């Protein structure tokens, strides 16, 4: 059970970001930054810090960054 707590906390922090961040440039650059941060985390940090699985958090960052980037036009008017 202890291994799922960091993922749950990260999920609770990132999901409001997905729904409340509306400006196109902000969604684009935040998505790119989060995806890059997650990839760098996977490459350069150890997979475990004590009992905490950091690889899970890195995958969550990459996933959230890509979803922000690919849905960056979600709140634009389609006139």
Residue 79 has pLDDT above 60, yes or no: no
Angle at 71 between CA 69 and CA 76, to 5 degrees: 115
4-26 pLDDT, tens digit per residue, is: 787 788 889 888 988 999 999 99
- In this structure, the strands spanning 52-53 and 48-49 are antiparallel
- Please give the average per-residue pLDDT across 43-68, as a whole number: 86
């Amino acid at each position: 059970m202890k291994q799922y707590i960091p993922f749950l906390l990260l999920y609770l922090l990132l999901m409001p970001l997905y729904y409340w961040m509306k400006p196109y440039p902000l969604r684009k650059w935040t998505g790119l930054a989060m995806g890059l941060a997650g990839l760098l985390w996977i490459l350069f940090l150890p997979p475990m810090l004590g009992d905490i699985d950091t690889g899970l958090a890195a995958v969550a960052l990459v996933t959230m960054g890509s979803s922000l980037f690919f849905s960056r036009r979600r709140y634009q008017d389609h006139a």
